[in-house]
Amino acid sequence: MRRRENVVQRRDGWSRPERVVNALAFVAGATVIIRTFLLDVPEVFPAGAELGEVIYQLGFAYLGAWIFHKVVVEVPRRRQQKRAYRAIGPQILRMSTVGQYILDELCKQAKERPPESPTSENLSPILAKINPSQPSITHEVYAKPHIFTSHGLVRGS
């Protein structure tokens, strides 16, 4: 049996490396906070204070790098991604609705209802009813934007 790959994305949108980086940032923050409370505690073993100071400095440096990464890399990348989705979204929606629009227009010409799932068996009788010499109306698809909603096709202005 083939092993199923993990393709489900978490609701928070973080990938596995992002979760690891964020978890390490949490651990680094915890070490910085814990160190401040342990300053007055005597050493449990020799050179414990020096080891604690090294861990504190590493945690503090990691936190600084994590914040820098979030501010300099992540925030601009997410802004750019949102702008790209806003710019590309209407074109993708338009391209995805063209097929439904063409099907609706063909069914309108044949005076038939569009089938639930268009297959060659469903479309053959519809296409047989259309007069090939009749002018096609599908050229309007590229002239005006169209949006297909749950209520049907809505022509844009």
Residue range 7-19: average pLDDT? 69
Reported confidence tier of residue 130, pLDDT bands at 50, 70, 90: confident
Cα–Cα distance between 25 and 17 in angstroms, integer? 12
Could you tell me which residues are beta bridge partners of residue 148?
153
Residue 120 pLDDT: 86
Ordered alpha helix ranges (H), the chain = 16-37, 48-69, 75-110, 120-128, 140-143
Reported confidence tier of residue 31, pLDDT bands at 50, 70, 90: very high
Residue 116 pLDDT: 84
Residue range 44-54: average pLDDT? 87
Residue 56 pLDDT: 92
Can you give the residue ranges of every domain in the chain?
16-155
Residue 60 pLDDT: 93
| Mean of per-residue pLDDT scores for the chain | 80
> In this predicted model, what pLDDT tens digit does every residue of 66-114 receive, in sequence order?
999 999 999 999 999 999 988 898 888 888 888 888 888 888 888 888 8
Predicted model pTM: 0.53
Cα–Cα distance between 131 and 101 in angstroms, integer? 19
